Amino acid sequence: MKRLIILVPDGNNNLSSIAGAHKILKRANDYYKNSGHKEVFAIQLAGVSEKVECDDGLFTIKPELNIEDVKKADLIIIPSLDHNYERTIKLNRAVIEWLYQQYKMGAEMASICTGAFLLAETGLLDGKSCSTHWIAADVFKKQYPKINLLSEKLITDEHGIYTNGGAFSFLNLMLYLIEKYFDRQTAIYCSKVFQIDIDRDSQSAFTIFTGQKDHNDEAVKKAQLTIENHFRDKISFELMANDLAISRRNFDRRFIKATGNSPLEYHQRVKIEAAKRSFENSGKNINEVMFDVGYNDSKAFRTIFKKITGLAPIEYRNKYNKMAYSA
């Protein structure tokens, strides 16, 4: 059984994201167990204080244990914070260090709404994409310029770190995690019980692709569409630039400015995202998936896959393949 910790930081938290996450994940556990499987998670609330106020003192939470007693977690959920981020960060220096160490030991992280501020303080989001409430976007961008903030996105998923947008959209993140850790059927069940709209396409989309179209360069958007529609093929970016009546140097410059990636990096990420979806949803082996997404060199495929995902292809397949997990 995996250990899931719902963090209760010091400061003024939002009760809904703590209680809501606990309730829906517990229901997923119960449903999965009643379906003939073993429970996936041992769910606990952990913090640094015996009592923590929520919603301006209207509610009080008593964490079940101190974070010092959690030597190794598998998944940690960071709740939404109030908007006094500086104060919350100062109060939770021990929590920030603990989060960093837990991730380095293999724990995955999921931040809810403005919980992204606490996660960002660890440095684990530097160079990665994340989301938070749009109200906090300007403050977040100024405070953490090394992070690719996609505040318009509902969910981001990168290297074992999940983030989501604002308010009660955390329920969609919970469904996303349930599908990842349990299975699709359990996620559907929870969506019906809690009456949460479920949209697999938007939940499965990795933000580097959807988020990178939030720009006004129509030529680059056309190039992106071509890459995504023909990602299995060899693509000549020289010819692509010529077709768009742009010099190759200017094409690369505009593409990087608009998307944050070079055309080649973008092409690689589209290929790897397709490979990830295949590993998650099919019984194909490594070589079959490699050929399907347009790679012929197994060493190159494995190298690029690990560079982008942080996992070797077989590790990713074993971790996220639904059929393998249910077996």
CATH 1.10.1040.10 fits 215-327, yes or no: no
Q: Is the pLDDT of residue 97 over 90?
A: yes
Euclidean distance between the first and the last CA atom of the chain, given in angstroms as a whole number = 15
Between 138 and 46, the more confident residue is 46
Bridge partners (DSSP) of residue 59 are 54
Instruction: Give pLDDT tens digits for 169-178.
Output: 899 999 999 9
Instruction: Give pLDDT tens digits for 45-86.
Output: 999 999 998 888 899 999 999 999 999 999 999 999 988 888
Instruction: Give pLDDT tens digits for 191-234.
Output: 999 998 875 433 233 333 444 676 889 999 999 989 988 999 99
Class of domain 2-206: alpha beta
Q: Where are the domains of the chain?
A: 2-206, 215-327
Sign of the Cα torsion 227, 230, 235, 240 reads negative
Q: Are 165 and 213 in contact (CB under 8 A)?
A: no
Give the span between the Cα atoms of 19 and 125, in whole angstroms. 25
Encode burial over 88-113: b for 16+ CB neighbours within 10 A, e otherwise. Answer: bbebbeebbebbbebbeeebbbbbbb
